[in-house]
Structure 1
Amino acid sequence: MNAERPAAGLSAVLRSLNGDRGYGIALLGVCAVFAASELGGEAARNALSFDRSALTAGEWWRVLTAHFVHLGAEHALLNGLGVVLMWALFARDYSPSRWATIYFAACLAVSAGLWWLNAEVAWYVGASGALHGVMSAGTLAHLKRRDLDGWILAAFIVGKLAYEQLAGSMPFAGGANTIVDAHLYGAIGGLATALVLKPAAHSLYSAR
């Protein structure tokens, strides 16, 4: 009986973080993709980044692959932590296929925004823009269900995006290498996609 209590407690913690059963395995898989791309080093960054001249030459895959490679190990780790946070907050809000649709739509929105609206940006890598799409889509799901934290999440993301547009990158974001417009484009792409997708019907709190 006593031996079962720690196991039950661990199971409850994992579920509260959306890390139980297949969710935990899927999260490890996503993090492994980030790690694998980092193992490719400079060669992977050069081959997969958003590169304006390469895109002009027809290397169209870069509009998606740029969001899976990073500036270095620290950048990959920060994006990985972002994935873990988004996972803990939102993983159960949509089905896996709908989350994939949202993420890839956010990737495309970031690339399209940079291409058409930020001609000065010649090169870009990282998942932060697409993760803002995940955050906006997850927040919308919470608002649709009238979850208690929906408006708090909405105020946070709107405030963060407004701050970045007015004052530049957040103090903890790493400064000059952050392209804040990518966050805005990703958030818009994720939100627009989520508007036409049905989220999970259950409340975040009742599900846990």
Structure 2
Amino acid sequence: MKNGPYWVAFAVTVICTSFYLAGLMLPEVDHLLSFRRSGIEQFEWWRLITGNLLHTNHWHLIMNLGGLWAVVFLHHFHYNVRGLTALFMLLCLLEGIGLYLGFPKLLGYVGLSGMLHGLFTFGAVQDIRCKMRSGYLLLLSVIIKVGHEQWFGASDDVTAMIGARVATESHLIGLICGLICAFAFMLRKPATSVTSS
């Protein structure tokens, strides 16, 4: 457990919750850290990462953190602390860059959901590499989900719950980034069995 990925999930939970509570007391926190195109254009590069760590309300926070713990639990055997930390930071950065370059009309974004789609996708590919048939099902399911959202949009119930439009484009970027990271990982490290991960 000393080197387990659950410590990363715990650290992200503490950071996201702290940012949320700080934002309730000091609105300047959200203004300073959220993904804002206008700020990024003024060379405030940190927003590409920190925007992923902010949330619109407590339901948004709870849903995203619940998703994080579920994804880590699902694929915990693929990770150690250092590897998952690096992957988390990379996916957050790529999420921000992807949204900035790919969707110029998107002026603002907060939340972990895009990164979570990337992490889920990465884990599904690792399952496939370890010859776990469930990996194919997981990968297909996230592709279908994201494709459905691109055509039909997000659930009205979720939109109402988080008090903001669900940025489904972030889910698409997350899926793409997860695939990019997975294939890059494949090039540098041969597949191993689940028991030796």
Q: TM-score, structure 1 length as denominator?
A: 0.80
Partner of 1:31: 13
CA distance in 1, matches of 2:52, 2:110: 6
> CA offset at residue 110 of structure 1?
2.0
Q: Which residue of 1 aligns with 2:102?
A: 117
Deviates more, 1:169-178 or 1:90-99: 169-178
Query: Which one-letter code corresponds to 1:37 in the other structure?
Result: F
Rounded to whole Å, the distance in 2 between the matches of 1:97 and 1:194 is: 16
Q: Tell whether 2:139 aligns with 1:154.
A: yes
- How far apart are 1:186 and its partner, in Å? 1.3
Find the aligned partners of 2:42 and 2:119 in 1 and give their Cα distance: 30
Greater Cα offset, 88-97 or 185-194: 88-97
Cα 1:190–1:166 shift into 2, 3 Å: same
Instruction: Give the match for residue 4 of structure 1.
Output: none
CA 1:173 to 1:146, structure 2 compared with 1: closer, same or farther past 3 Å?
farther
Q: How many residue pairs were aligned? A: 186
Tell me how far apart the structure 2 counterparts of residues 34 and 156 of structure 1 sit (CA, whole Å). Answer: 27
Matched residue, 2:193 = 202
- Code of the residue aligned with 1:181 in structure 2: it is E
Would the aligned equivalents of 2:8 and 2:84 in 1 still touch at CA under 8 Å? no
Pick one of 158, 166, 170 that aligns with 1:178.
166
2:154 is matched with 169
- 1:26/1:199 Cα in 2 relative to 1: closer, same or farther (>3 Å)? farther
Q: What are the within-5 Å matches in structure 2 for residues 1-208 of structure 1?
A: 23=4, 24-41=6-23, 42-170=27-155, 173-174=158-159, 177-197=165-185, 198=189, 201-203=192-194
Report the Cα distance in structure 1 between the residues aligned to 2:105 and 2:13, rounded to whole angstroms: 31
Task: Write the distance in 2 (CA, Å) between the matches of 1:147 and 1:108.
Answer: 29
Range moving further from structure 2, 146-155 or 26-35: 26-35
Query: Where does residue 6 of structure 1 map in the other structure?
Result: none
- Which residue type is aligned with residue 157 of structure 1? V
The 1:200–1:69 alpha-carbon spacing in structure 2 relative to 1, beyond 3 Å, is farther
Larger Rg: 1
In structure 1, distance between residues paired with 2:31 and 2:136: 40
- Amino acid of the structure 1 residue aligned with 2:35: F
User: Quick one: structure 1 residues 72 and 199, their matched pair in 2 at CA, closer, same or farther if it must change by over 3 Å?
Assistant: farther
Q: Is the CA contact (8 Å cut-off) linking 2:127 and 2:135 kept in structure 1?
A: yes
Contact 2:35 2:96 in 1 (8 A): yes
Q: Deviation string for 1:76-133 (max 9, x for gaps)?
A: 1111101111111112213333323322232222222221222221111111001111
Q: Any stretches of 5+ residues in structure 1 without a counterpart?
A: 1-19
Q: Which moved more, 1:102-111 or 1:139-148?
A: 102-111
Using the size of structure 2 for normalisation, the TM-score is 0.85
Residues 3 and 80, structure 2, Cα contact 8 Å, conserved in 1: no
2:183 alignment partner AA? L
| d(CA) in 2 for partners of 1:199, 1:40 | 43
Deviation at 1:67, TM superposition (A): 0.7
Question: Kindly, what percent of the aligned residue pairs are identical?
Answer: 26
